[in-house]
């Protein structure tokens, strides 16, 4: 793809730093068309990566579900626990790298990409120890929540086995962002294209062919995810990505402050909506089995749809961070405008598809007439939720790219827990709107988050973000 010549006469591509040395005087330039093409090219593999990665866990539900109802209940509880108390927190913390590594790469300081990645790994591994302790003792805690003792026992066994995949999950999440910061998006995609089918084969082999039954599912996931981390390492060594690896550095054990200031708010942004959806699921359980089933179906649909804007959000975050690292406010603003327009296009596309297939979606999920009817009645507000959710995902990405995660963290807590959930429970129980009211409140909370984040992005000092990034890269 044609691009403006770089200051040193070297051809620039999407995977080269935008600013190679501090002595560069000419500011990098871009255009709407160039940024749109780059984000489109980046978003596709990011979406595919998310889909394949989630399929690894979902495969256990299908593999174990056919054994029996108790096993299906146990694997559903265990999968929810690994996602809510584990994956989401680790991924949220690792999102801090979206700012640090991409800004470092945009500034031309390649070695900082590897150094920031090492710091995050060194930070996340000890942070994972309390998580692993919780999983080891999960059976007792689940026994107080679940009425069936056997379900709690099986879920506890599942989680104890899954402890063995936590270090590999940390390495893969950090490694994935190490490649993404360099514009190498197909590294993790290629790894998952190889390992996702292998995971399905291992599920069948262990659960059914070798007769391991229930416990074969988590063993298959542990094998697959450890292999994923190993293959990603080999990709950097043998194929591409090692140019930003300066070797293991003792500096990785120091200067964690800036990283933590990005990682913790990034985790809050990642976890806030997920936890809010779980809260309304628990509330909806009070209205009966049918409404709980409908709520579970809606949350599942929402999480699957979210893969699409999440890919675009990550692409926007990385591209804006590249330009901020390159000290180009103009380039960052162009990329941000493209991201907003991309978000609008995706939100309209998702809404059109949901409306067009609203009569068919319930029948793909359930054969129960009452549950199908509830899904149809909630669908209008659910479509509105998806419209706003797509745009909020893009605002999250822009905040990460600019290094303003702390703002996003506060706004998410306010929008969901001060505005959204109180309205959800007030109208659901007080006005008798039940599941419909739950989604009305959640949508209002999401509108609050989206509006305040975009207001902050529009009104605040982008030159200040550039200055802070330059100082941070220098001090790192």
Each residue's pLDDT tens digit, 214-235: 899 999 999 999 999 999 999 9
Is residue 417's pLDDT more than 80?
Answer: yes
Q: Of 116-125, 170-179, 364-373, 423-432, where does mean pLDDT reach its minimum?
A: 364-373
Percent of the chain with pLDDT over 70: 92
Give this prediction's pTM.
0.84
Check residue 20 and give its pLDDT: 42
Q: Of 35-44, 148-157, 287-296, 353-362, where does mean pLDDT reach its minimum?
A: 287-296
Which CA distances in Å does 402 have to 47, 178, 407? 22, 18, 11
Q: Of 11-20, 70-79, 212-221, 461-470, where does mean pLDDT reach its minimum?
A: 11-20
Confidence at 373, pLDDT banded by 50, 70, 90: confident
Calculate helix-pair angle for 257-284, 434-459, nearest 10 degrees: 160
Q: How far separated are the first and last CA of the chain, in Å rounded?
A: 33
Confidence at 29, pLDDT banded by 50, 70, 90: low
Continuous H helices in 306-433: 307-325, 329-356, 361-365, 369-402, 405-413, 421-425
* pLDDT average, residue stretch 446-454: 95
Check residue 255 and give its pLDDT: 85
- 255 touches 476 (CB < 8 A): yes
Confidence at 28, pLDDT banded by 50, 70, 90: low
Is residue 193's pLDDT more than 90?
Answer: yes
* CA separation for the pair 323, 318 (Å, rounded): 9
Is residue 169's pLDDT more than 50?
Answer: yes
Task: Please list, in sequence order, all residues whose beta carbon lies within 8 angstroms of the beta carbon of residue 472, skipping any fewer than 6 positions away.
Answer: 100, 103, 258, 403
Is residue 368's pLDDT more than 80?
Answer: no
Is residue 9's pLDDT more than 50?
Answer: no
Is residue 13's pLDDT more than 70?
Answer: no
Question: What is the per-residue pLDDT across 241-298, written as a single tens digit (0 to 9) for each?
Answer: 888 888 888 888 888 888 898 899 989 988 888 888 878 877 887 887 778 778 877 8
Is residue 21's pLDDT more than 50?
Answer: no
Check residue 213 and give its pLDDT: 87
* CA separation for the pair 447, 420 (Å, rounded): 9
Nearest to 285 by CA among 144, 86, 389, 146: 146
Check residue 252 and give its pLDDT: 86
Percent of the chain with pLDDT over 90: 47
Across the chain, mean pLDDT equals: 86
């Amino acid at each position: 793809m044609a691009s403006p010549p770089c200051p040193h006469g070297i051809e620039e591509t999407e995977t080269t730093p935008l600013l190679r040395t501090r002595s560069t005087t000419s500011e990098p330039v871009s255009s709407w068309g160039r940024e749109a093409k780059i984000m489109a090219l980046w978003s596709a593999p990011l979406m595919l990566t998310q889909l394949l990665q989630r399929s690894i866990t979902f495969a256990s539900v299908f593999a174990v579900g056919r054994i029996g109802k108790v096993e299906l209940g146990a694997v559903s509880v265990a999968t929810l626990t690994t996602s809510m108390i584990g994956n989401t927190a680790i991924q949220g913390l690792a999102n801090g790298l979206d700012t640090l590594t991409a800004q470092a790469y945009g500034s031309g300081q390649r070695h900082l990409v590897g150094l920031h990645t090492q710091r995050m790994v060194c930070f996340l591994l000890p942070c994972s120890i309390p998580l692993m302790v919780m999983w080891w003792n999960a059976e007792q805690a689940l026994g107080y929540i679940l009425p069936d003792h056997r379900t709690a026992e099986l879920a506890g066994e599942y989680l104890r086995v899954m402890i063995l995949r936590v270090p590999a999950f940390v390495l893969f999440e950090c490694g994935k962002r190490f490649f993404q910061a360099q514009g190498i998006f197909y590294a993790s995609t290629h790894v998952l294209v190889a390992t996702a089918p292998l995971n399905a084969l291992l599920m069948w082999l262990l659960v059914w062919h070798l007769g391991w039954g229930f416990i074969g599912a988590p063993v298959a996931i542990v094998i697959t995810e450890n292999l994923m981390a190993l293959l990603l390492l080999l990709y950097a060594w043998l194929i591409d990505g090692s140019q930003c690896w300066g070797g293991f550095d003792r500096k990785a054990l120091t200067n964690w402050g800036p990283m933590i200031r990005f990682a913790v708010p990034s985790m809050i942004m990642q976890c806030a909506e997920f936890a809010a959806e779980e809260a309304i699921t628990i509330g909806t359980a009070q209205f009966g089995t049918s409404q709980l089933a409908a709520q579970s179906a809606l949350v599942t649909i929402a999480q699957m749809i979210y893969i699409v804007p999440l890919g675009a959000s990550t692409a926007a975050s990385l591209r804006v961070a590249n330009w901020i690292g390159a000290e180009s406010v103009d380039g960052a603003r162009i990329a941000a405008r493209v991201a907003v327009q991309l978000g609008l296009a995706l939100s309209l596309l998702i809404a059109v598809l949901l409306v067009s297939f609203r009569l068919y979606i319930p029948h793909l999920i359930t054969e129960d007439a009452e549950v199908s009817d509830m899904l149809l009645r909630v669908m209008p507000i659910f479509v509105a939720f998806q419209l706003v959710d797509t745009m909020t995902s893009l605002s999250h990405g822009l905040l990460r790219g600019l290094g303003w995660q702390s703002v996003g963290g506060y706004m998410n807590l306010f929008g969901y827990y001060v505005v959204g959930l109180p309205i959800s429970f007030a109208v659901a129980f007080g006005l008798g709107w039940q599941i419909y009211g739950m989604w009305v409140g959640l949508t209002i909370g999401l509108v609050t988050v989206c509006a305040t984040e975009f207001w902050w992005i529009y009104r605040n000092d982008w030159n200040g973000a550039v200055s802070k990034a330059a100082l941070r890269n220098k001090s790192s």
